[in-house]
Amino acid sequence: MLNVSRFLIRLKKLQRVNLLGLDVGRRFIGLARADDVFGKYQISPIVQIDKKMQNFISEIFKNASGIHGIVVGKSEFKNEMDKVIEDTVKMIENDIELPMVYWNEDYSTVKATEMLYKIRPRYGKSKFLIDQVAACVVLEDFIQYAQNAMPNLPDLL
């Protein structure tokens, strides 16, 4: 797991950057994908993966083609989910050799629920959609930060 500056410096060398966002929960992982991040970008929810599936890491890997890094949502505040997220990330890191970074996910589920509820009230109650959209929220927050931070980063550490 890289810190944010090292993660961004690694990505700065690329012309186009595609990222995968993960919203890790106790049972499910919401996945989202951001393509061509530092120019115009499009963030799309991909899938919700059940961690009880034996091949859940291969499901993530299947969605990681053309990806340059993974942004994992994690609260800035210590809580009971930290260990769940860290254990999941360790399993993913063992099989997928992509740079990974934690990003603040505070209120991403609340934001996702509100966004979905505005579209259609019953969508705001769908755990299946909420996890995916929460991953989009995490990615969007990270990308906004990255776009502002990139010009100020050194080319090499």
What structural domains and CATH numbers belong to the chain? 4-150 (3.30.420.140)
What's the pLDDT score for residue 37?
A: 53
Closest residue by Cα to residue 3 from 102, 89, 143, 79: 102
pLDDT in single tens digits along all 157 residues of the chain: 778 887 887 787 776 788 999 988 888 888 899 987 556 778 888 877 887 776 777 777 777 778 888 999 988 888 888 888 898 888 888 888 888 999 988 888 778 778 777 777 766 566 777 888 888 889 988 988 888 877 666 554 3
DSSP string, 124-137: GG-HHHHHHHHHHH
Q: Which residue has the tokens 């589920």?
A: 109
What's the pLDDT score for residue 59?
A: 74
Q: Reduced to 3 DSSP states, what percent helix, strand and coil does the chain have, rounded to the nearest 5? A: 45, 20, 30
Query: For residue 117, with 0-12 CB atoms within 10 Å meaning exposed, 13-18 middle and 19 or more buried, which class applies?
Result: middle
Token pair for residue 6?
Answer: 């090292």
φ, ψ for residue 102, nearest 5 deg: -85, 145
pLDDT digits (tens, 9 = 90+) for 40-83: 778 888 877 887 776 777 777 777 778 888 999 988 888 888 88
Token pair for residue 42?
Answer: 């499009």
